[in-house]
C-alpha cells in the first residue's frame, strides 16, 4: 500500500518522460495525482483509529500525520496537474517550449510528487533527509522551465541556498544519530523516528541542542523561514504557475513536517522550552520580514511568495505552542494555506497568460475586465487573509488561542501586529489589482475547464472551515502523533 502511493507518480514520471508530450499524457499526470489522493484517503481511513502501517522492509511508515500529509500533497497536486495541461499547451502554442521539453516537465512534476511522498512516508529520518534534498534536485529545472534570464537567476539562487541549508539539516541529522548511538549502542535502526522518540529521554541534551538548532535552520531554509528565506520569493515567482502552486502550497510544508518530527525527539530530551524559544524566534522574524517586504511588492507572484513566508511564520508559532489544539490547528492551516495559495498561484498563472504580465501596476480592474478570474482571485485573497468561512480563519483563531493558553500571548500579539500590517499591504495591492481604474473593454470570459478546479479548491477551503466532518478525527489523530 505505502509503496503503491509512491509507485504511482514514479510510473507516471517514466511514461511522461519517455513519450513526447501530448494532451493525454498531461491528463495522465492529473490522474496520477488523483490516484495519490485516493490512496491517501484510503490510508487515512485505515489508520485514523488503528495502528501505523509499515512497508518495504520498514523503510516506509505511515501514521495519521503521514496520511494527512499525503492527502495535502494529493489535493494540491490534482489542482496543479490539471492546470499544467493548459500551461504546457499555451507554451507549445506560443513556440516557447517543444514537446520534448514539455514531456520533461511532466516527468519532473511527477518526480517532484514522488519525492515529497517519500519524505512524508519515510520511517527513517535519514531517508526523510534524502527525500527532501531530492525535491530540490527535481524542482530546479521546473523553476527554470521558462528559460528566461530571470528564471535562470532564480534557479541558481534556489539550488545554492537550499543545498547549503539542507547540508546543515544533514549535520543535524548526523548529530541526532550520534546521540542515539551514544545512548543505546548499535540498535536495529537508531535513526528510525519511532525508536528515537522512545529513546528521547536518554539522548544527550548538549548535542541535541546544537542538532535541533541545525535542523530548524536547515529545514527552515526549505520552509522559507528567516534567515534563509531569500531564495523563496525568486523561485516561487519565476517558476511556472502550477509549479509555484506545488512549491508554495505543499513543498514548504513538507519541509515543515520534518521540523515537526524532529521537534518531538528534541522535546523528549530537552523539555519544551528550548525548541519553543527557537521556533518563536524564527517565526517572529519571518513575520516581521514578510510584513516589511509585502508593502513594497509590485509583482503578483512575488506578493504571494512573501505571503507564504508570513504563513510559515504563523505555522512555526503554532508549532512552538505545541499543545494538541495548536498542532491540529497547524495541520488544518497547512491544508487551508495549501489550497488557497495553490488556487491563487494558478490564477496568477492564468492572469499572466491572459495579460502577458504579472506586474500589479499593469493589470488593474481585473474584476470588471475578467469577472470570473478576478472573482476567484478576490476570494482567494479573502481566504488567505483569514476571513471566514475559509478554514484559515478557524486555524488562525485556534493557533492564537493555543498560544495564549501556553503563555505565548506576547508572541501571539506580535504576530497579530504583523498580520495587521500585511492585511493593509495586501488589501491595497488587491484593491488596485481587482478594482482600480476601469477600462472600456468588454469583459473577457474564462474557460470553464480553468475555472472549475480553481473554484473547487476555494469551495473545499471553505468547506473544511465550516464543517468538522470529515477531517476532524484525522486532524486529532495526527496532532496526537507529534503532541502526545
Burial class (CB in 10 A: 0-12, 13-18, 19+), 34: middle
Closest to 172 in 3D by CA, of 136, 137, 244, 222: 222
Using CB under 8 A, which of 126, 272, 371, 456 touches another protein?
Answer: 126
428 binds another protein (CB under 8 A): no
DSSP H helices in 271-370 = 273-294, 300-321, 324-355, 366-369
How far, in Å, CA of 161 to CA of 167, rounded? 10
141 binds another protein (CB under 8 A): yes
Cell of 87: 500551461
DSSP H helices in 406-471 = 409-434, 448-466
Element of type H or E holding 220: helix 205-223
CA 224 to each of CA 161, 251, 311, 312, 313: distance values in angstroms, whole numbers, following the listed order: 11, 10, 10, 7, 9
Burial class (CB in 10 A: 0-12, 13-18, 19+), 281: middle
φ, ψ of residue 339 in degrees (nearest 5): -65, -50
Q: Which of these ranges, 201-209, 221-229, 395-403, 456-464, lies near another protein under the rule CB under 8 A?
A: 201-209
Using CB under 8 A, which of 6, 44, 140, 245 touches another protein?
Answer: 140
How far, in Å, CA of 232 to CA of 226, rounded? 10
Closest to 223 in 3D by CA, of 171, 168, 174, 165: 165
159 binds another protein (CB under 8 A): yes
421 binds another protein (CB under 8 A): no
Q: Which of these ranges, 40-48, 82-90, 174-182, 346-354, lies near another protein under the rule CB under 8 A?
A: 174-182
* Closer residue to another protein, CB minimum distance, 58 or 447: 58
Give the count of residues interacting with another protein (CB under 8 A): 52
117 binds another protein (CB under 8 A): no
Question: Considering the complex, what minimum distance in angstroms separates the CB of residue 258 from another protein?
Answer: 14
* Closer residue to another protein, CB minimum distance, 123 or 331: 123
Q: Which of these ranges, 158-166, 221-229, 245-253, 441-449, lies near another protein under the rule CB under 8 A?
A: 158-166
Question: Considering the complex, what minimum distance in angstroms separates the CB of residue 310 from another protein?
Answer: 15
CA 418 to each of CA 188, 218, 233, 283, 309: distance values in angstroms, whole numbers, following the listed order: 47, 25, 18, 11, 12
Binding mask 204-233 for another protein (x = CB under 8 A): x-xx-xx----------------------x
CA 471 to each of CA 85, 251, 324, 328, 454: distance values in angstroms, whole numbers, following the listed order: 30, 21, 15, 10, 21
10 binds another protein (CB under 8 A): no
* Closer residue to another protein, CB minimum distance, 157 or 369: 157
137 binds another protein (CB under 8 A): yes
Q: Name which of residues 296 to 325 contact another protein (CB under 8 A).
A: 296-297, 302
Binding mask 229-248 for another protein (x = CB under 8 A): ----xx--xx----------
398 binds another protein (CB under 8 A): no
Question: Considering the complex, what minimum distance in angstroms separates the CB of residue 234 from another protein?
Answer: 5
Q: Which residues bind another protein (CB under 8 A)?
A: 59, 124, 126-127, 129-130, 133-134, 136-137, 140-141, 144, 149-150, 152-157, 159-160, 163-164, 167, 170-171, 173-175, 177-179, 181-182, 189-191, 204, 206-207, 209-210, 233-234, 237-238, 293, 296-297, 302
Amino acid at each position: 500500500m505505502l509503496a503503491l502511493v509512491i509507485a504511482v507518480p514514479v510510473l507516471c514520471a517514466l511514461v511522461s518522460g519517455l513519450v513526447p508530450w501530448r494532451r493525454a499524457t498531461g491528463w495522465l499526470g492529473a490522474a496520477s495525482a488523483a490516484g495519490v489522493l485516493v490512496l491517501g484517503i484510503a490510508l487515512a481511513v485505515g489508520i485514523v483509529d488503528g495502528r501505523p502501517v509499515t512497508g518495504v522492509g520498514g523503510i516506509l511508515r505511515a501514521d495519521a500525520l503521514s496520511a494527512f500529509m499525503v492527502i495535502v500533497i494529493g489535493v494540491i497536486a490534482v489542482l496543479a496537474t490539471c492546470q499544467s495541461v493548459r500551461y504546457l499547451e499555451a507554451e507549445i502554442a506560443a513556440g516557447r517550449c517543444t514537446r520534448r521539453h514539455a514531456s520533461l516537465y511532466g516527468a519532473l512534476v511527477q518526480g517532484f510528487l514522488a519525492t515529497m511522498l517519500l519524505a512524508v512516508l519515510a520511517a527513517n529520518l535519514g531517508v526523510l533527509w534524502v527525500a527532501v534534498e531530492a525535491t530540490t534536485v527535481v524542482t530546479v529545472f521546473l523553476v527554470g522551465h521558462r528559460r528566461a534570464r530571470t528564471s535562470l537567476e532564480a534557479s541558481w539562487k534556489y539550488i545554492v541556498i537550499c543545498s547549503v541549508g539542507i547540508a546543515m539539516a544533514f549535520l543535524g541529522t548526523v548529530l541526532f544519530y550520534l546521540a542515539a548511538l551514544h545512548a543505546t549502542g548499535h540498535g536495529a535502526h537508531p535513526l528510525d523516528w519511532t525508536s528515537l522518540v522512545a529513546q528521547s529521554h536518554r539522548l544527550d541534551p548538549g548535542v541535541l541542542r546544537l542538532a535541533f538548532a541545525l535542523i530548524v535552520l536547515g529545514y527552515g531554509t526549505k520552509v522559507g523561514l528567516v534567515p534563509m528565506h531569500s531564495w523563496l520569493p525568486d523561485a516561487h515567482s519565476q517558476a511556472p504557475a502550477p509549479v509555484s502552486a506545488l512549491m508554495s502550497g505543499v513543498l514548504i510544508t513538507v519541509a515543515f513536517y520534518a521540523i515537526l518530527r524532529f521537534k518531538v525527539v528534541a522535546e523528549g530530551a530537552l523539555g519544551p522550552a528550548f525548541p519553543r524559544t527557537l521556533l518563536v524566534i524564527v517565526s517572529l522574524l519571518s513575520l516581521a520580514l514578510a510584513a516589511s517586504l509585502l508593502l513594497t511588492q509590485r509583482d503578483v507572484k512575488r506578493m504571494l511568495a512573501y505571503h507564504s513566508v508570513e504563513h510559515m511564520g504563523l505555522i512555526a508559532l503554532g508549532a512552538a505552542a505545541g499543545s494538541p489544539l495548536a498542532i491540529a490547528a497547524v495541520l488544518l492551516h497547512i491544508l487551508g494555506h495549501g489550497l488557497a495559495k495553490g488556487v491563487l498561484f494558478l490564477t496568477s498563472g492564468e492572469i499572466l497568460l491572459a495579460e502577458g504580465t504579472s506586474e500589479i501596476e499593469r493589470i488593474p480592474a481585473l474584476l470588471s475586465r475578467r469577472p470570473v478570474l478576478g472573482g476567484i482571485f478576490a476570494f482567494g485573497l479573502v481566504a488567505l487573509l483569514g476571513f471566514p468561512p475559509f478554514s484559515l480563519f478557524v486555524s488562525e483563531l485556534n493557533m492564537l488561542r493555543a498560544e495564549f493558553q501556553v503563555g505565548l500571548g506576547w508572541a501571539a500579539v506580535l504576530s497579530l501586529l504583523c498580520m495587521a500590517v500585511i492585511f493593509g499591504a495586501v488589501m491595497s495591492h488587491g484593491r488596485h489589482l481587482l478594482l482600480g481604474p476601469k477600462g472600456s473593454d468588454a469583459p473577457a470570459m474564462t474557460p470553464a475547464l480553468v475555472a472549475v478546479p480553481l473554484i473547487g479548491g476555494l469551495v473545499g477551503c471553505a468547506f473544511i472551515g465550516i464543517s468538522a466532518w470529515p477531517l476532524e478525527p484525522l486532524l486529532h489523530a495526527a496532532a496526537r502523533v507529534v503532541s502526545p
